Chain A
Amino acid sequence: MTATPYVVLSAIIFTIGCVGVLTRRNAIVVFMCVELMLNASNLALVAFARQHGNLDGQIAAFFVMVVAAAEVVVGLAIIMTIFRTRRSASVDDASLLKY
């Protein structure tokens, strides 16, 4: 059994995550779409680990999970701080650096 279907599924989910990051306005949902992309890459890593018969891909997926957990913690703290000062979780409102 080849890994191609898994990798194709991972590509589809990655694309959906990309479109979500580009279109959604709510910062929390944008973050969820980033998580979706990370998960899709994890699926590809695990599928390739099985394809090649060694566990390096699973280790890489494990590190991706660790980094994702750290990233979510800091990112959600930033969203909370922005919400506390601006009363909004929309990514369009935090545009002070533009001017």
Chain B
Amino acid sequence: MIAFWILAPIMVLAALGILFVRKAVHAALLLAVVMMSLAVLYLVLEAPFLFAVQIIVYTGAILMLFLFVVMLVGVDASDSVVETIRGQRVMAILAGLVLGLVLVTALGQITLGSAVGLGDANSGGNIQALANILFSRYVFAFETTSALLITAAVGAMVLAHRERLDPKPTQAQLAAQRVRDYAAKGLHLGPLPPPGVFARHNAVDTPALLPDGTASQASISRVLAARGTVRSAPALADDIEGVQQSLESLGDDAARGQGPAPANTEEDDR
């Protein structure tokens, strides 16, 4: 019973957190908390097989599937706060409160008596006892489950598969297309410049600086540009004076035959 009174508040708080957190990833992690606590409660309730299945299937498989889809859809796919139906949120919370009150008061009215316990049923081992029931009385439901699983697998494959309308271009075709673009539109023939090569930061969110000190837009990933997480070019344009100074001092040092330029620049010292 101690485990219950420790885990029950954690579960309720985590479940309430799913309602209030903005990001889907946080909701998934809170759901993991609820499911792990539930697994421990199964152990307390003399269901060791369900304890293992809960951890393996729910937290291991289903939650990972959720996290994969969250990653594919985009981590910052948060909820919009705008209500499409007026007063829907208030009504939903009221309905939830009524449902909760009805359920809890109804359950408070009944007295279940002391539990029989699973000592007899589990005497030959919980898994053996479950197998005995599953493969005798529930064997038809068990076989039907296989049809359900294969339907789900085929359905997921059909839904997630995307038919290619045109054949995938080969490397030779891509190269020929590049040369054609160069001839027709004068596009850059070589590979795109990597980000951050001439900048202070070697990070992918920093555009490369062209020789005249302007930022090269072609060096940034399209995804980062669309998300708006690229470092601003003016901040880098300020840096160019520091680069020039260090270059001049490098030139002086080289002229005087002294050692190489300092490894770290002014901004790093700051």
**A interface residues with partner B (beta carbon < 8 Å):** 1-9, 11-20, 22-26, 28-29, 31-33, 35-36, 39, 42-43, 46-47, 49-56, 58-59, 61-63, 65-74, 76-81, 83-84, 88-90, 92
Interface size class of B (residues with CB under 8 A): 35 or more
Can you list 11 pairs linking A and B with CB atoms under 8 Å apart? Answer: A1-B115, A2-B113, A25-B79, A42-B38, A46-B50, A53-B121, A65-B57, A70-B149, A76-B69, A79-B69, A80-B160
B215 on interface, CB distance cutoff 8 Å: no
For chains A and B in complex, what number of residue pairs have CB atoms within 8 angstroms? 231
Q: How far is the CA of A77 from the CA of B31 in the complex (A)?
A: 20
Chain B at the A interface: mostly helix, strand, loop or mixed? Answer: helix
Check A3 against B112 for contact (C-beta < 8 Å): yes
B49 on interface, CB distance cutoff 8 Å: yes
Q: How far is the CA of A34 from the CA of B158 in the complex (A)?
A: 23
**B interface residues with partner A (beta carbon < 8 Å):** 1, 4, 8, 11-12, 15-16, 18-19, 24, 27-28, 31, 34-35, 38, 41-42, 45-47, 49-50, 53-54, 57-58, 61-62, 65-66, 69-70, 72-74, 77-80, 84, 88-89, 92-93, 95-96, 99-100, 103-104, 107-108, 110-118, 120-122, 126, 129-130, 133-134, 138, 141, 145, 148-149, 151-153, 155-156, 159-160, 162
B99 neighbours in A (Cβ, 8 Å):
15, 18
| Most chain A C-beta atoms within 10 Å of own C-beta, residue among B16, B27, B148 | B27
Q: How far is the CA of A11 from the CA of B117 in the complex (A)?
A: 22
User: Which 3 A-B residue pairs are closest in the complex by CB-CB distance?
Assistant: A53-B116, A19-B96, A22-B92
Q: How far is the CA of A84 from the CA of B69 in the complex (A)?
A: 12
A81 neighbours in B (Cβ, 8 Å):
159-160
Check A28 against B73 for contact (C-beta < 8 Å): yes
B12 touches which of A9, A26, A39, A51 (Cβ 8 Å): A9
Nearest-neighbour CB distance to chain A for B182, whole angstroms, equals 32
Check B73 against A51 for contact (C-beta < 8 Å): no
| Most chain A C-beta atoms within 10 Å of own C-beta, residue among B38, B78, B117 | B38
B122 neighbours in A (Cβ, 8 Å):
55
Nearest-neighbour CB distance to chain A for B37, whole angstroms, equals 10
Check A24 against B159 for contact (C-beta < 8 Å): no
A32 touches which of B11, B16, B66, B93 (Cβ 8 Å): B66
Nearest-neighbour CB distance to chain B for A37, whole angstroms, equals 10
Nearest-neighbour CB distance to chain A for B85, whole angstroms, equals 9
Check B107 against A43 for contact (C-beta < 8 Å): no
Report if A11-B107 is in contact (Cβ < 8 Å); known contacts: A53-B118, A55-B129. Answer: yes
B65 touches which of A19, A66, A76 (Cβ 8 Å): A76
A12 neighbours in B (Cβ, 8 Å):
12, 15, 100, 104
